[in-house]
Structure 1
Amino acid sequence: GMLITGFILRNVDAINVVRHIEPSWASDLRSMALILILIRAGLGLDATVLRNLGGACLRLTCCPCLVECAAVAVSARLLLGFPWLWGTLLGFVLGAVSPAVVVPSMLWLQSEGLGVDQGIPTLVMAAASFDDVLAITGFGVVLGIVFSKGNLAWNIAKGPLEAVVGLLFGGVVGGLLWFLPSAQSGQRTTLRPVLLLLAGLCVMFAARRVEFGGSGPLGCIAVAFVAAFRWTKDQHGAASASETCALLWEVFQPILFGLIGSEVQIKDVVSDGTLLGLGVLGISLTLRMATSFLVVYGASLSLKERLFVAIAWLPKATVQAAIGPVALDYARNLGADDRTVSLATQVLTVAVLSILVTAPIGAAAIALSAPRLLRRSAKSLDPANGRAVTEPDEEDVNMSVL
């Protein structure tokens, strides 16, 4: 519903209010909402489960993304006539899962106690952040080759370096939050969520400032994860931060999805290559889901639970909205030829289609399949500290993104 509302506000001339929003403001608001999502993901990670599922997490991070990228490159060449490099570029655009859809869904699973004993929410949330870094890194490398921007060796090495820097920086900042505010502070419980959010903002925008964009998302998760590791030992320590972030998410959720929907323009969707683009998307998603199902073999999950992981690995939105238009911007700014501009426009069109198709369908599929495919724990759990919580509202169960 929020995506559609944003789409309407962009494309109905009589109420096109989106044109009054500065693109830089929209980008910053999307980043702030993403920071909140990533902090909630960090608070929801279970260190013990993550340690036990490390191998499955790595496989889920790399294999589906790379398989989808290869599938897109081949199908785009056959169906759309893309050169191999442009097909690979499109593959990395489509290869990232959407944390904006997946993380709130996994937090809902934790509150419902669905799949918690098997570690499914932690597995999916942890892998989602690394999956995005892999896709964005691959995109940056191929973009540099296509437009001959920068040193190729540096472009390749920068991705892993960003991941390491993000984890280290986030871990250090999270460690500082063990001691801030001081134990003598009477407002400790109130100040902790504020400091955590400020730390997330600092990490994300500092990474962007030094052009290490891939470090930001991982850094935000690391800040929350490391801070919560200590806070859970205090009474209401991590719980207060989790509750505050949940309340703020109610404010930022419509902003994020409304802005993503507003990125979609009818002229980008209604084009000659739309049906062929849907064909590329269908082929790649089929192979992605099959790969996701296979790579979690050996993680002590049943067939139904592996099927759910494959479904949860479907939605796309945030990353596609962020990097989908980048190639077109480069082509226009560099005064590229008509063929290059046309290819970049098709990349944007398929990215838009992936958002429209997978974000609502993926969110609905997660919400509807979870009670049928996952085992319920003895009691519902608070994602922050594992304590029992009350049942969520019906609105949460319905996943208000729909």
Structure 2
Amino acid sequence: MTNLHTVVKRGSKVQVGQEEKEITVLPRSKTDLAAAAEMKMAALESSSCCSSCISLKDRCPRPQGLFSLLITKVCLFALLFGVVWSITGSECLPGGNLFGLVILFICSVLGGKLVGMIQLPTLPPFPPLLGMLLAGLVLRNVPYITDAVFIDTHWSAALRNIALSIILTRAGLGLDPSALSRLKAVCLRLAIGPCVVEASIVAVVSHFLLGLPWDWGFILGFVLAAVSPAVVVPSMLLLQREGYGVEKGIPTLLMAAGSFDDILAITGFSTCLGIAFSTGSTWMNILKGLLEVVGGVIAGLVLGLFLCCFPSKDQEELVLRRTLMLLGLSIFSVFFSHVIGFAGAGGLCTLVLAFLAALGWKTDKAPVAAMVGQSWDVFQPLLFGLIGAEITISTLSPNTVGLGLACISIGLVIRLLVTFGLVHFGGFNLKEKLFIAVAWLPKATVQAAIGSKALDMAREKGDDAMIKFGLDVLTLAVLAILTTAPIGALGIGLAGPRLLARQVKDETEGGATNPSSIGIGREKDNVNLETKL
């Protein structure tokens, strides 16, 4: 007979066979009772603890949403600062280069955001680069902040050269070979004529008013002669979206000619820069300038062909590798040209290699151009902030500022008249020609990119006279940005709706379809079907 261990209560009944018998359970020992009491107390304590924890969790929930995001970003920034500080030491403290760059970048971004928020009805938004430039100018000229936000000239020059490489890369990628092949004569005249004439006029005026040598006068002339795509392109896109000037292709004409205008100005600037910093006779300097142009083009062709083949299409992350190769070769070309003494060749090499690489990639260049644009979003605040930080208001001579504004004004008036005359035979009416002339005035991006390059080279050479000339060129470049960028943006926004004809889209394009067109389409389909049969 098997032993059955059964736990029963006192006074319970158990049925054995057909009979019910009452079983009396003897009380357990004291040790068992103590153990049971302890277990019961433990269970009560655990249940009370769990309930208190649950109520505490309900009363104090975990941080989420914006507060959690803010705490996370603050911790990440603190960790990043701690790591960099442990490596660089005083460089990331007030007065160090890293600290100055971070503060300058943040202030430039905020300044660009604030200026971009200034938007008047029926007007294009103000270019954010104005806020970036003013942020650097303020940081440089506020007494106590100037000492804390310090950036070494070598660091500043290197970052500006990187930004210049990115600008030239974007310009090379933006050239459309099909547009080049069918470019009209008016577009060529608009791209070449005003740039060359303004550069020559500014060179002559600056030679007699500011006392610049002829080579430095032409350096200043080509710096000021370039039109700004950062102002013209957004304004043209806004007018094109509203239908102004679309019928005669005025926005497309200005955007296409603007790219060639910038390339011509950069090419002329690079050539004159090579001549100005050459030693020897005048003919040798001219020959060296020509060698820089030819050498830059040849090097760009070789590197561009290399990028057409490498990296190959079967590699992973092709867009990222192409972008890194393109930017790496562009930045290397600009810096290496300084090392070998042919400073003007680097910019041309970058333009040519980017254009040839885009020509080989064909339709695959779009994602590469987008990624290069993202890198420009990072270096644009640094470029304009550093340009503004180069100007010390206390050291500026009122005579230099006044004569510089006179040079800029004379060049702009001549440019306005020349532009108006060159588009005279382009099939435009009087109002359209006046608008094209006004739209060809603003300056910003190219002036910021190349305006300080001559000053950087003069500092490397250690020539006090050249440093003074370089400061004059940079000062006039900043004055041109501050005066022409807002005036040009406002002029385009005000003159566009008043001087250009508006092309209204047909209601049938995006909405209801004409019933007669449906019937005609069906008749054509029936005729085609009968012909095939």
TM-score (norm 2): 0.58
Answering whether residue 296 of structure 2 is matched by residue 166 of structure 1, we say yes
Which structure 2 residues correspond to residues 365-376 of structure 1 after superposition, within 5 A?
Answer: 365=491
The more displaced of 32-41 and 285-294 is: 285-294
1:311 to 2:439 alignment: yes
Closer, same or farther in 2 for the Cα pair 1:259/1:162, shift >3 Å? same
CA contact (8 A) 1:94 1:351 kept: no
TM-fit CA distance, 1:12: 0.6
1:394 match: none
* Equivalent-residue separation in structure 2 for 1:131 and 1:40 (angstroms): 16
1:258 paired with 2:385, answer yes
Q: CA deviation at 1:288?
A: 2.3
Q: Within 2, Cα distance between the matches of 1:55 and 1:222?
A: 23
Please list the CA deviations of residues 306-361 of structure 1 after superposition, one character each: whole Å capped at 9, or x if unmatched. Answer: 7436634541333223225767987xx4576xxx9987765665454334323454
Per the TM alignment, residue 297 of structure 1 is displaced from its structure 2 partner at its CA by 5.2
Q: CA deviation at 1:221?
A: 2.0
Give me the identity figure in percent: 33
Residue 227 of structure 1, CA deviation: 1.5
* Code of the aligned partner of 2:436: F
Question: Are 2:316 and 1:186 equivalent residues in the alignment?
Answer: yes
Is the contact made by 2:165 and 2:331 (CA closer than 8 Å) also made in structure 1? yes
* Partners of 1:207 and 1:215 within 8 A in 2: yes
1:226 aligned onto 2:353: no
Does structure 1 residue 126 correspond to structure 2 residue 275? no
Do the aligned partners of 2:132 and 2:381 also contact (CA within 8 Å) in 1? Answer: yes
Distance in structure 1 (CA, Å) of the matches to 2:190 and 2:251 = 19
Cα–Cα, structure 1 residues 219 and 116, in superposed 2: closer, same or farther, change >3 Å? farther
Say whether the 8 Å CA contact 2:203–2:217 is kept in structure 1.
yes
Q: Name the amino acid aligned to 1:21.
A: I
Contact 2:304–2:352 (CA<8 Å) still a contact in 1?
Answer: yes
The residue type equivalent to 2:450 in the other structure is V
Instruction: Give secondary structure in 2 for the equivalent of 1:186.
Output: coil
| TM-superposition CA deviations, 1:149-172 (whole Å, max 9, x none) | 323112112333322322222222
Question: Residue 400 of structure 1 aligns with which residue?
Answer: none
- 1:199–1:89 CA distance, 2 compared to 1 (3 A): closer
Inter-CA distance 335–264: structure 2 relative to 1 (3 Å threshold): closer
- Work out which of the residue numbers 198, 206, 215 in structure 2 matches 1:68: 198
Contact 2:157 2:456 in 1 (8 A): no
Taking the aligned partners of 2:487 and 2:373, their CA distance within structure 1 comes to 23
Q: CA deviation at 1:8?
A: 0.6
CA contact (8 A) 2:435 2:495 kept: no
Q: Closer, same or farther in 2 for the Cα pair 1:223/1:267, shift >3 Å?
A: same
Q: Distance in 2 between matches of 1:215 and 1:248?
A: 23
1:349 and 1:225, CA in 2 relative to 1: closer, same or farther beyond 3 A?
closer
Check conservation: 1:190, 1:240, Cα contact below 8 A: no
Bigger radius of gyration, 1 or 2?
A: 2
Q: Would the aligned equivalents of 1:33 and 1:249 in 2 still touch at CA under 8 Å? A: yes
**Deviations 1:67-88 (Å, cap 9, x if unpaired)?**
334433554466x3x55x6366
Deviation track 1:178-232 (CA, whole Å, cap 9, x = no partner) reads 2222222132233222222112122222222222222222222222221222323
Query: Could you say which residue in structure 1 is the equivalent of 2:213?
Result: 86
The one-letter code matched in structure 2 to 1:317 is A
Q: Equivalents in 2 of 1:372, 1:168: separation in Å?
A: 47
**Letter of the 1:138 counterpart:** C
Residue 391 (structure 1) aligns with: none
Check the 8 A contact 1:231/1:238 in 2, yes or no: yes
Q: Structure 1: which 5+ runs fail to align?
A: 380-402
Q: State the match for 2:484 in structure 1.
A: 358
Map 1:35-46 to 2 at 5 A: 35-46=165-176
Q: Which residue of 2 aligns with 1:33?
A: 163
What is the root-mean-square deviation in Å for CA atoms of aligned residues? 3.8
- Please report how far the alpha carbon of residue 262 of structure 1 lies from its aligned counterpart in structure 2 after TM superposition: 0.8
Kept after mapping to 1: 8 A contact 2:235/2:489: no
Greater shift after overlay, 124-133 or 299-308? 299-308
Question: Which deviates more, 69-78 or 280-289?
Answer: 69-78
- Deviation string 1:5-64 (CA, Å, 9 cap, x unpaired) is 000111111111686212111111111112112211222111121233386666556543
The code of the aligned residue for 1:194 comes to L
**Which amino acid in structure 2 is aligned with residue 221 of structure 1?**
L
How far apart, CA to CA, are the structure 2 residues paired with 1:377 and 1:216? 44
Change in 2 beyond 3 A, CA 1:378/1:135: farther
CA contact (8 A) 1:2 1:258 kept: yes
Question: Residues 270 and 347 of structure 2 are in contact (CA less than 8 Å); yes or no, is this contact kept in structure 1?
Answer: no
The one-letter code sitting in structure 2 at the alignment partner of 1:226 is L
* Larger deviation, residues 166-175 vs 298-307: 298-307
2:451 to 320, 325, 345: 320
What is the aligned partner in structure 2 of residue 11 from structure 1? 141
Aligned AA for 2:484? T
Alignment of 1:240-319 (within 5 A): 240-296=367-423, 304=432, 307-308=435-436, 311-312=439-440, 314-315=442-443, 316-319=447-450
* Cα distance in 2, alignment partners of residues 91 and 220 from structure 1: 22
Aligned residue in 2 for 1:398: none
Aligned residues of 1:277 and 1:350 also touching (Cα < 8 A) = yes
Q: Distance in 2 between matches of 1:110 and 1:166?
A: 32
Task: Choose the corresponding residue for 2:222, options 69, 74, 95.
Answer: 95
Whether the 8 Å contact between 1:72 and 1:284 is mirrored in structure 2 is yes
Mapped contact 2:452–2:473 kept (Cα < 8 A): no
List runs of 5+ in structure 2 lacking aligned partners.
1-130, 241-248, 506-533
Report the number of matched residues. 363
What CA distance in whole angstroms lies between the structure 2 residues aligned with 1:361 and 1:4?
Answer: 16
- After TM superposition, the score normalised by the length of structure 1 is 0.74
- Matched to 1:166, the amino acid is G
Deviation at 1:90, TM superposition (A): 3.1
**Residue identity in the other structure for 2:145:** I
Give SS of 2:313's match.
Answer: coil
Q: Which residue of 2 aligns with 1:387?
A: none
Q: Is the CA contact (8 Å cut-off) linking 1:324 and 1:351 kept in structure 2? A: no
Query: Are the structure 2 counterparts of residues 24 and 219 from structure 1 closer, same or farther at C-alpha, using a change threshold of 3 Å?
Result: same
> Partners of 1:18 and 1:157 in 2: how far apart?
46
Q: What's the counterpart of residue 243 of structure 2?
A: none
